[in-house]
Structure 1
Amino acid sequence: MTTQLPCVVMLDSMRTYSLDDVYETRKRRDSWWTVYFVDPVACRVALPVANRTRLTPNALTVLSLVLGAVSAAFLAMNQLMAGAFLFYLSFMIDCVDGKIARLKGTGTPFGLWLDYVGDRIRVVLCAGGLAYGQYALTGDVSFIVLGAAVAVLDLFRYVNAPQMKRVRDAVREEQGLEPEGSAAEARAEHPADPLGPDPLEPEPLDGMPHHGRLPRPRWFFKLFRRLNRFLARHRVRSHLVSGIEFHAAVFVVAPLAGAWALIPLAAGAGILLLANEVFLVYRMWLFTRRHAVGSVQESREHVLV
C-alpha cells in the first residue's frame, strides 16, 4: 500500500483536466450573483490554474485576501472603480480556490478556517476603507456609520448561519432524522465552505411528521416552493439576498455606480439581507415546532450551550 501511494499522487498530478471537470466542481446551489456573474469567469480561470500551475487552494485564498486588502486601499483613496474591480477579482479567486480543492481533492481543515476568516477580514477591511475614503473626502459621518453597519451585518449573518444549522441538526438528531446536508455534502458540496452545505436552504413544509396542531402552509409557502424548484433547476439558492449579494451591492455595484449610490444601495441591500435573515429564522422556528425536542433538559438549554 505505502509503495503505491507515490505513484497514485504522481498520476493525479499529471492529469489534464477539462472544462467539464471544472464545471462538476460547482456547488449544487449557489447565490445568483455567483452563478451568473462569477462562476463563468472562475471556471475558466480555474482550468489553467489546475493544469499549468501548482498553486494550492490555501495559496489562492491568501492571494484573494491580498487582493481584498488592495481593494480596501483603493477604496480608502476614493478610487471606487479600481476598488470595485479588485473586490470582484478577490471574490472570484476565492471561488477558484474551492474549485481547485474539489478538483484535486486537496482541501484541508486548515483551509476551511483560512477561507472563512479571510472572507471576514476582506469585508471588514473594505468596509473600513470605503468609510474612511468617503469621510475624508466629504466629512460626512454617515459614511462612518455605513462602514460600521456593513461590518456588523456581515458578522451577524455569518454568526447566525452556523447557529441555525446547529439548532436544526440537534432537532434532527433528537427525531432520528438524517443530519442536515450529510448526504448532499458527500455528493457535491464545497469542502472549502466553512458552513458545509448551505445551512439556510429552506426546509420542506410537507412530508414530515407533525407534532401538535400547526397551521397548514399558506399560499405564500406553496408559491415559495414552486419558486424554489424553479431556482434549483438553475442552481440558484432560494434566499435571493444573502451575504454574497450584499457584498456585491456594497463593494462592486455601488462603487461602480458612483459615490452617490453608496448609501442608498448599501441601505437597500442591508434591509433586504435583514428581511431574509428574519424569514429564515421564522422558517427555523416552524421547523423546531414541527419537530418538538423531546428532552426537557435540551429544550431548557436551547441546544446551544
Structure 2
Amino acid sequence: MARRIALSEIRSRTYKRRDAWWTVWLVDPLASRLVWLVAPWRWVTPNLLTFLAFLIGIGSAVSFWQGSYGWVALGALLFHVSFVLDCMDGKIARLNGTGSVFGQWLDYVFDRLRVVVTTIGLFGGQYERTHNFAFIWLAGLVLFLDMFRYLNALQMGKVKTVMKDNLTAARGPDAVPVSFVEDESDEHPESADAVSEADHVVDVNSDFRNRFGFFVRFRNVLIRQRIRAHVFSGIEFMMFVFIVGPLVNWIIGVTLISSALMIGFELLLIYKLYTATRTYERKMAAATIPAQAPAAERDGVPAV
C-alpha cells in the first residue's frame, strides 16, 4: 500500500481553483477525507468510483420510486452520497495520476444517465402515488434544463476557444497563444492592465463589467472563497431538485424555483458571452487593419 498523503496536500492538489458553492461547502470537506482514506489503495481507481457513484444513483432512483416521504428522504441521501463519490473520482485521478481520456468520457456520460434515472424515479414515483400530471411535466422540464445546461456549456467553451485561436492567428504565426483576463486572474479587475502586462492577455468582458459592476464585486467576494460566480449552475440545480425538494417535502415548489434560477443564470451567461463576442469582433477588426493595406494592393485580403 502506498504512503498516506497529508490532508492539506490532498486539498492543495485536488481542489479546483473555482467550484460550485454546494461542492465547496457540502462535498469537498467530506470527499477530501474519504480520498485521504482510500488514496493509498491503488485498486480504488477513478473509473471504479464512477461506477459506484452511478450504482448508488440507481439506488437513489429506486428509493424515489417508492413515493413515501421516508423512501424519498433515503433517495435524497443516496443521491448526495453518489455525488460525493462522483467528486472523489476526479480527486483520485489528480492525486494519483490515474485519470484517462476514457475516464473523462465515462464520468460525463454516467453523470447524465444518473440524472435521467433519478428524474424518472423521483417524478415517476410521485406521479404513481398522486396521479398528478404536473410531475410528468416537471420531469420533462428537469431533463430539458439539464441537457441544455451542459450542451450550452460545451458550446460556450468552443466559442471561447475559437475567439482565442482567431485572435492569436491575427497576431501572426509567431504570436503567443492568447488568453482571456478571466483565465489569468482570480478576480476581474477594473482593466486588463491590472491583471498582467503581457500582450497576449486579452480582455473581452470589459463591456459586461461596465454594465454589471455590482455582479462583478459580488463575484470577487465568491472567488476569494473558491466559489464560482455561476451561483446556480447544473450542480446546484440537481442538488435542489433531488435533495432539497425531497427533504423538505416540497418537490413541485423547489423544482419550479430551481428551474427559474437555473434559467436566469444561464441567460446571464449567454448575455455575458454575447458582449464578449462584440468586444472580440472589435479587437479582430483592429488586429487585421495593419495587414489589409498591403493585401489591398494585391487585390486580396488574408484569411484569419
Give the TM-score range, shorter chain. 0.7 to 0.9
What is the letter of the counterpart of residue 256 of structure 1? L
* 1:147 Cα deviation after fit: 1.0
Specify which of 244, 248, 251 is matched with residue 253 of structure 1.
244
* Residue 242 in structure 1 maps to residue 233 in structure 2: yes
What is the letter of the counterpart of residue 95 of structure 1? C
Higher relative contact order (CA 8 A, sep 6+): 1
Distance in structure 1 (CA, Å) of the matches to 2:190 and 2:256: 32
Tell me, which stretches of 5 or more residues in structure 2 are unaligned?
169-176, 193-200, 289-304
What is the letter of the counterpart of residue 111 of structure 2? D
Distance in structure 1 (CA, Å) of the matches to 2:269 and 2:182: 20
Distance in structure 1 (CA, Å) of the matches to 2:208 and 2:125: 48
1:34 maps to 23
Decide whether the 8 Å contact of 2:179 with 2:202 is kept in 1: no
Distance in structure 2 (CA, Å) of the matches to 1:69 and 1:210: 44
Comparing 37-46 with 285-294, which one deviates more in the overlay?
285-294
Aligned-pair Cα RMSD in Å = 2.6
* 1:125 Cα deviation after fit: 0.5
**Shift in alpha-carbon separation, 1:286–1:106, aligned structure 2, 3 A:** same
Distance in structure 2 (CA, Å) of the matches to 1:141 and 1:217: 41
Decide whether the 8 Å contact of 1:58 with 1:111 is kept in 2: yes
* 1:209 Cα deviation after fit: 6.5
Instruction: After superposition, give the CA deviation of every residue in 1:159-202 in whole Å (9 maximum; x if it has no partner).
Output: 11010111111011111152569977xxxxxxxxxxxxxxxx99
Q: What percentage of residue pairs aligned between the two structures are identical?
A: 40
TM-score, scaled relative to structure 2: 0.80
Decide whether the 8 Å contact of 2:209 with 2:216 is kept in 1: no
Distance in structure 2 (CA, Å) of the matches to 1:104 and 1:27: 16
Distance in structure 2 (CA, Å) of the matches to 1:245 and 1:217: 24
2:174 maps to none
1:54 maps to 43
Distance in structure 2 (CA, Å) of the matches to 1:123 and 1:111: 18
TM-score, scaled relative to structure 1: 0.80
Decide whether the 8 Å contact of 2:15 with 2:91 is kept in 1: yes
What is the letter of the counterpart of residue 61 of structure 1? T
Residues paired across the two proteins, number: 263
Distance in structure 2 (CA, Å) of the matches to 1:209 and 1:60: 39
